[in-house]
């Protein structure tokens, strides 16, 4: 099962991806998490990506494509994955298709969490407050200026990316403002009805 999650910053991609990964028993690959870990550990990838991530800009396709390619080549991703935060541009989506074609695989479904822009700031403020309350560090890009930039970057590519998957008949839009469990159910219901032989539905 190869799933990609699309949607604006703060739409809930991370939450839903990790739930889906648990249900489907495939790895949850978040490019944001991979980049943040690389930045924390000051790896060559982290050093290259830091300025873009902190400011809310997109990391260059070449850098992120290489990083995703490496991650997908690991054994645990052979049987499937939930990609969260990738692809974000049509070029990235094309790279992903090309990559998967080598092994005769393809993306099964692209779920888009639809959330109006006016709700995003609230969501991100909530995430920052929850992190602080839990004694965790607030993300360096969960501030007003970086969020605006992330939204602009999202809007630049969102429509063409959705069209890319729509044209392939793979786009499934879900109301990202619904209650968390209801969103998860919409996603798993879709998978169960279209891929009934996939564990745990079989």
Task: Note whether 10 binds ligand ADP by CB under 6 A.
Answer: yes
Task: Note whether 53 binds ligand ADP by CB under 6 A.
Answer: yes
Binder among 81, 86, 164, 165 for ligand ADP (CB under 6 A): 86
What is the CB neighbour count within 10 angstroms for residue 71? 17
Neighbour-count burial for 23-46, b at 16+ CB within 10 Å, e otherwise: bbebbbbbbbebbbebbeeeeebb
Is residue 74 part of the annotated active site? The answer reads: no
Task: Note whether 141 binds ligand ADP by CB under 6 A.
Answer: yes
Task: Note whether 165 binds ligand ADP by CB under 6 A.
Answer: no
**Residue written as token pair 């490019």:** 31
Binder among 20, 26, 64, 113 for ligand ADP (CB under 6 A): 64
Is residue 101 part of the annotated active site? The answer reads: no
Q: Which stretch binds ligand ADP (CB under 6 A): 86-94, 106-114, 155-163, 185-193?
A: 86-94
| Least CB distance to ligand ADP at residue 197 (A) | 30
What is the CB neighbour count within 10 angstroms for residue 169? 7
Q: Which stretch binds ligand ADP (CB under 6 A): 8-16, 98-106, 159-167, 171-179?
A: 8-16
Nearest of 159, 28, 38 to residue 89 by alpha carbon: 159
Query: H-type helices in the chain, by residue range?
Result: 13-24, 31-40, 44-55, 61-72, 90-101, 117-133, 144-167, 180-194
| Least CB distance to ligand ADP at residue 115 (A) | 11
Is residue 129 part of the annotated active site? The answer reads: no
Is residue 150 part of the annotated active site? The answer reads: yes
Is residue 48 part of the annotated active site? The answer reads: no
Q: Which is nearer to ligand ADP, 113 or 191 (CB)?
A: 113
Active-site option among 50, 139, 149, 170: 139
Assess contact for 183 and 175: CB atoms under 8 A.
yes
Neighbour-count burial for 180-190, b at 16+ CB within 10 Å, e otherwise: eeebbebbbee
| Chain CA centroid to CA 12, Å | 9
Which tokens sit at 54?
Answer: 């902190």
Residues with a known catalytic role: 13, 88, 127, 139, 150
Contacting positions for ligand ADP (CB under 6 A): 9-10, 13, 31-32, 35, 52-53, 56-59, 64, 85-86, 88, 92, 141, 150
């Amino acid at each position: 099962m190869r799933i990609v999650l699309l949607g604006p910053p703060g739409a809930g991609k991370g939450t839903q991806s990790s739930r889906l990964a648990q249900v489907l028993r495939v790895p949850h690959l978040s490019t944001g998490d991979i980049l943040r870990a690389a930045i924390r550990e000051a790896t060559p990838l982290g050093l290259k990506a830091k300025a873009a991530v902190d400011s809310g800009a997109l990391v260059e396709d070449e850098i992120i494509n290489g990083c995703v390619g490496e991650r997908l080549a690991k054994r645990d991703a052979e049987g499937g994955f939930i990609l969260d935060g990738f692809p974000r541009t049509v070029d990235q989506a094309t790279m992903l298709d090309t990559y998967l074609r080598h092994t005769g695989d393809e993306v099964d479904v692209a779920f888009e969490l639809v959330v109006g822009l006016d709700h995003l700031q609230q969501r991100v403020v909530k995430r920052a407050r929850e992190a602080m309350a839990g004694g965790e560090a607030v993300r360096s890009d969960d501030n007003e200026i970086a969020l605006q930039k992330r939204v602009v970057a999202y809007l630049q590519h969102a429509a063409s990316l959705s069209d890319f998957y729509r044209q392939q008949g793979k786009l499934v839009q879900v109301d990202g403002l619904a209650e968390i469990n209801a969103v998860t159910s919409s996603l798993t219901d879709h998978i169960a009805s279209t891929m009934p032989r996939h564990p745990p539905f079989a």
